[in-house]
Chain A
């Protein structure tokens, strides 16, 4: 890092600066639509139908019963499946769906110890001990506050939850979306048919038969988090003519990861492969021009400072075409894909080409200057867990 960068960074942390006024462009896709489409339908769950040995996304019977009571509280209030899913997502974050009789001993600003209780870790200002320890009542308290938030259905899920919970990290609940979706989808299956098994297995792997829907539903459906599995699926798409890797050396990177024979400098982050897979779910054909430049020794662009190079080099991808049309980063296909991607990538994932499109404020993606002849995506400065998408 250069001294210039270091001083500038410290300046923003230590010294007041003016914010440039930006126009917020409301994404055509909406923030909630795809997530909502991925979850099960709303309906009361008969907790007696949850098998004693049930296990979903790591949660056992007691936790699934609590999730069902949360969903039922939403139904009782006349709220849709979106709300039930948010409630379960919040409770996973607060209590892992365990009806806790204690809090985390956090200290309130007045010096008192937080007296949080229950599934939602509500303090005494929310209600009596009995109310906060009763799952359905606690959930009702959560939903009644959610109902007072204007436009909560259109908000990014973690922010909708945080308008109620007020966590110091507004993105805190995002990491629990995949688990919550798996749980709510399982519970919904109980209301429509007897499950064939008391155990919902981990997410199936992505396959070459993934449908191309061309809608926000495209982000639904389980997606493997394993690089080798993902790379294998992508190779099949190459053979099928749906995925074109512009240079053979980058196609070889995928082949090596699929075979498990890649060298230390030639790895590909599972998230990079997942992002390509998501593009294939959204478009009939996808063109990729750049992957791991550290592997190829390419010093294009920012050279060894490039997100195609740092951290081992496999955390960035450049797309050059969707559906046979060249990308600028601001064209309709790029905008559509960015809207989808923003819903599933971790906060701080990046898109290039900021100057190539109308001013757009994404929730999770940050943006930077890059040439307008491709669409750059990277996850170089985010936590390393694979994206979690469950159907």
Chain B
């Protein structure tokens, strides 16, 4: 899962992004390649993800972690396409 791959601050940047990359849109893959994993606040997911608002092409999913609540924006280009993560944002710090 994307958030489990994201919440691994002890990994080196190449290892971290290589694993996370598979869940990301192309644009997100470029963006998250700039992240220093040691600055990622969470180390584990603590509750099941919950889909929030959205439509056939964009969904906002909330994921609770040990660092707080993250909002994950997932998108797909067509109604039958694969959902990919576009953004992971900490919305409520623990």
Q: How many A-B residue pairs have CB under 8 A?
A: 163
Query: Which residue on chain B has the smallest CB distance to residue A156?
Result: B31
Do most interface residues of chain B lie in helix, strand or loop, or is the interface mixed?
Answer: mixed
Given A11-B83, A366-B25: A381 and B53 interface contact (C-beta under 8 Å): yes
Contact between chains at B77 and A354 (CB < 8 Å):
yes
Smallest beta-carbon distance B65→chain A, Å: 11
A6 contacts across to B, CB distance below 8 A: 51
A108 contacts across to B, CB distance below 8 A: 38
Do most interface residues of chain A lie in helix, strand or loop, or is the interface mixed?
Answer: loop
Contact between chains at B27 and A5 (CB < 8 Å):
no
B54 contacts across to A, CB distance below 8 A: 1, 5, 9, 381
Contact between chains at B57 and A368 (CB < 8 Å):
yes
CB contact list, A1-57 vs B, under 8 A: 1, 5-6, 8-20, 22, 24
Contact between chains at B56 and A305 (CB < 8 Å):
yes
Query: Which residue on chain B has the smallest CB distance to residue A18?
Result: B22
Query: Which residue on chain B has the smallest CB distance to residue A169?
Result: B89
A366 contacts across to B, CB distance below 8 A: 25, 27, 57-58, 73, 75, 86
Smallest beta-carbon distance B76→chain A, Å: 7
> What per-residue 1/0 map shows which CB atoms of A164-202 lie under 8 Å from chain B?
011111110000000000000000000000000000000
B36 contacts across to A, CB distance below 8 A: 165-167
Contact between chains at B58 and A350 (CB < 8 Å):
yes
Contact between chains at B26 and A159 (CB < 8 Å):
no
Contact between chains at A17 and B35 (CB < 8 Å):
no
* A326 interface residue per 8 A CB criterion: no
* A369 interface residue per 8 A CB criterion: yes
Contact between chains at B88 and A169 (CB < 8 Å):
yes
A347 contacts across to B, CB distance below 8 A: 73, 86-87
B49 contacts across to A, CB distance below 8 A: 10, 13-14
Contact between chains at B51 and A19 (CB < 8 Å):
no
A380 contacts across to B, CB distance below 8 A: 55, 58
CB contact list, A113-167 vs B, under 8 A: 159, 162-163, 165-167
* B69 interface residue per 8 A CB criterion: no
Contact between chains at A368 and B77 (CB < 8 Å):
yes
Query: Which residue on chain B has the smallest CB distance to residue A104?
Result: B93
A362 contacts across to B, CB distance below 8 A: 27
Smallest beta-carbon distance B7→chain A, Å: 10
10 residue pairs, one from A and one from B, having the closest CB atoms = A166-B36, A368-B57, A12-B83, A162-B34, A170-B31, A14-B1, A366-B75, A109-B9, A9-B59, A361-B26
**14 new A-B pairs (CB below 8 Å) besides A9-B59, A169-B87, A367-B75?**
A10-B61, A11-B83, A13-B3, A16-B23, A17-B84, A167-B39, A168-B88, A348-B86, A355-B78, A366-B57, A366-B75, A368-B77, A369-B77, A381-B58
Question: What are some 5 contacts across the A-B interface (CB < 8 A)?
Answer: A10-B61, A106-B39, A162-B31, A168-B35, A381-B58
